[in-house]
Amino acid sequence: MGRRRKGEPVHGWLVVDKPEGLTSTQVVSKVRRLFNAAKAGHGGTLDPIATGILPIAFGEATKTVSYAMDGRKTYRFTVRWGESRDTDDREGKVTATGDKRPSREEIEAMLPRFTGEIVQTPPAFSAIKVDGERAYDLARDGEIVELRPRLIRIDALRLVETPDADTAVFEADSGKGAYMRALARDFGVFLGTPSHLTAIRRTAVGPFILDDAVTLEHIEAAAGDPAALESTLLPIETPLDDIPAVALTEAEAHRMRCGQPVTLLRRSDRERLESLTRDLSDDDVFRAVDTIVLAVLGDLPVALARVDGAELHPVRVLNLV
C-alpha cells in the first residue's frame, strides 16, 4: 500500500508575484506549506533574479500545468550593452567587454530579425538536461556545455525605452521555451557589442496576468485563515479558457471518471464536435482527430478528453468529487 501524501486536498491555481532572489521551487515549497497542500507544482520556471507571474497549481490543477506552460508569455527585460557574462545575465562572470553602444535607431531596426519563428541556442546555465544532468550543474562544475539550437517563437518584440547609452528596456511576447537571457545575448552579437540581461519581469503567462497575482507577504498574512487563503485561488480550468467545453450527463460523467470513453448520443453535441474539426485552420488540420475538450458536469470539470468521432476518450480525469 502506497504512502499517503501529507497535507490537505487543495485544488486550484495560485498566481504569485514572485520576488527577486528566490527560485521557483522555493516559492512553490513556501506556498505549499502555507496552504498545507498535499500536491503543488508551477507552470513555468523563473530565474532567481526574475520577478512576476509564477502560476502555481494545487492538487488536480497540476493536470492542467502543460496548458499554462504552452500559453503565450510576456516579459519586460533590461539589456546592458558593452559587457557579456557566462550566464547571460548579471549573476555571471564577465567574459568580454566592448566600447560600442548601439543607437536607438540601430536597436529598432534589429527587432524584426528577432520576431517570428527564430533559432535560439539556450543559455549554458539553464535547466535543460544533458545526459540526465541539468546544464547549469555542469556549467558550474566548469564543464563546457553545448546545447542544441532550437526553433522558438517571438510573437512581438518592442523597445520600451533607452534610459542611457548602456541600457535598453524591451517587452516580448513569446511562445514556449524562449529564453530572454539568450535574446539579450544575441542582440549584442547582432549589434556588434557584448551584452547581457540585468533585470526581467514576467507580466503574463497564458490567461494569468499581474491583476491575478498575489504577493508572498499577502499569502503569509492569510496563513491560518482557510477562507482567506481559498479566496486567492483561481479555478482549475482557468488555463483551459481556449479549450471547448462539452457537457456530460451524470451517467456519462461517471463513465469518464472510471476512465471509460463516452459516446455522445445528443445531436447537438455531435454537431458541436464536428464543428470543432471544421473550424480548424489549415495549419491545425493535424489536430483534427486529437482535438482536446474539457468535459464538464454542470460547472464541475470532469476530465480533459480527446475527441474521436462521436466519442470522448478521457486523457486526464479530474478527481474533484
The answer as to whether 238 is a domain residue is: no
4 domain-assigned = no
Task: Compute how many other C-beta atoms are within 10 angstroms of the C-beta atom of residue 205.
Answer: 24
Question: Is 79 found in the same domain as 61?
Answer: no
Say if CB 74 and CB 203 are below 8 A apart: yes
Whether residue 191 sits in one domain with residue 89: yes
User: Is residue 114 situated within a structural domain?
Assistant: yes
Q: Which triple of cell numbers denotes residue 239?
A: 488555463
Residues 6+ apart with CB under 8 A from 305: 246, 256, 262, 292, 293, 294, 295, 312, 313, 314, 315
Please identify, among 205, 221, 253, the residue that sits at the C-terminal boundary of a domain.
205
Question: Greatest CA span in the chain, whole angstroms?
Answer: 71
Global pTM value: 0.85
pLDDT band at 205 (very low <50, low <70, confident <90, very high): very high
- Which pLDDT score, from 0 to 100, does residue 282 have? 44
For residue 199, give the nearest of 228, 168, 176 by alpha carbon. Answer: 168
Q: Specify the pLDDT at position 1.
A: 43
- Could you say which of 47, 88, 89, 173 is catalytic? 47
Q: 229 CB contacts (<8 Å, ≥6 apart)?
A: 34, 35, 219, 222, 223
Task: Confirm whether 164 is a catalytic residue.
Answer: no
- Distance, in Å, from the CA atom of 258 to the CA atom of 266, rounded to the nearest integer, reads 21
- Are 172 and 225 in a shared domain? no
Same domain, 250 and 302: yes
Does any domain span residue 5?
no
Same domain, 77 and 134: yes
Q: How far apart are CA 316 and CA 255, in angstroms?
A: 13
Domain total of the chain:
3
Of 70-74, 127-131, 243-247, the least confident: 127-131
Assign 3-state DSSP to the chain and report helix, strand, coil percentages, each to 5. Answer: 30, 35, 35
The predicted-structure confidence for 50-102, as pLDDT tens digits, reads as follows: 999 999 999 999 998 888 878 899 999 999 999 999 999 999 999 999 999 99
The verdict on 105 and 55 lying in the same domain is no
Structural contact between residues 54 and 203, judged by C-beta atoms closer than 8 angstroms: no
Q: Are residues 44 and 142 in the same domain?
A: no
